Amino acid sequence: MEQNMLEQSTRFQSEEVNMQNIIATMQKHQKDIEKQFSQDSNTQSIHKFSEDMKGANEFIGALQTANVACRKILKLAKDLGANSLSQDSQDLQDIIGNTAFMGVKLFNTQLSTTLNATSYTFCIDNPMPLLQADSNTQALIAYIEEKSQEITQLLLTLSDALIESSTPSTSSENYNFNEFNAKAFSQMLKG
């Protein structure tokens, strides 16, 4: 009986050591993953365009530039070949790294503007980790297609907001006196 208890005790100690090794390995991997996420989040920046028509136009220009980059990335990702994966990956990284509007990098940057007291924001993260995590390009393609659709929808929304803001209301109840443009008013009186 003592022999049996001794064997059980030894087995439990062995299992405990194995469990501790497993836990230590998992903690190491968790720290590596947390480090990667913290590095990714540290690289993201915020760019706020001004709260006027000029700022809205700059925001639209940035969205259009990002959309062109998305189309280039999609074309390249769909044509990715297994033989030239490293060259194609470098080409993708070049597109992502060089996509900027008025000196502002567009990937990993939150873009925002305010028009008619409504805030609009857009952010496109660097999609390269999707390609590096899985050599299959489907996740990259799906992400870029989704972002391209978001840009298109946001451009349509902004277009409607710009039309709404440039069309004065005929009833004094709905007229926005805070955004009175003296220059436009004097031009209207001059005929």
Q: Does residue 182 belong to any structural domain of this protein?
A: no
- What span, in angstroms and rounded, lies between the C-alpha atoms of 128 and 156? 28
φ and ψ of 116, to 5 deg: 55, 45
User: Quick check: is 53 in a domain?
Assistant: yes
* Amino acid letter, residue 51: E
pLDDT at 29: 55
Give pLDDT, residue 133.
Answer: 66
* 101 within a domain of the structure (yes/no): yes
The reply to whether 74 falls in a domain is yes
Q: How many domains, in total, are found in the chain?
A: 1
pLDDT tens for each residue of 87-133:
778 888 999 999 999 888 999 989 888 887 888 899 999 988 887 76
Average pLDDT score over residue span 137-162 = 90
Q: For the domain that residue 78 is a member of, what is the CATH number?
A: 3.30.1120.180
In a domain, 63, yes or no: yes
| 3-class SS of residue 118 | strand
Asked if residue 135 belongs to a domain, the reply is yes
Structural domain containing residue 152: 43-162
Domain assignment present for residue 137? The answer is: yes
Q: What is the pLDDT of residues 35-89, one digit of tens each?
A: 555 445 446 666 666 667 787 888 899 999 999 999 999 998 888 755 466 677 8
**Residue 94 within a domain:** yes
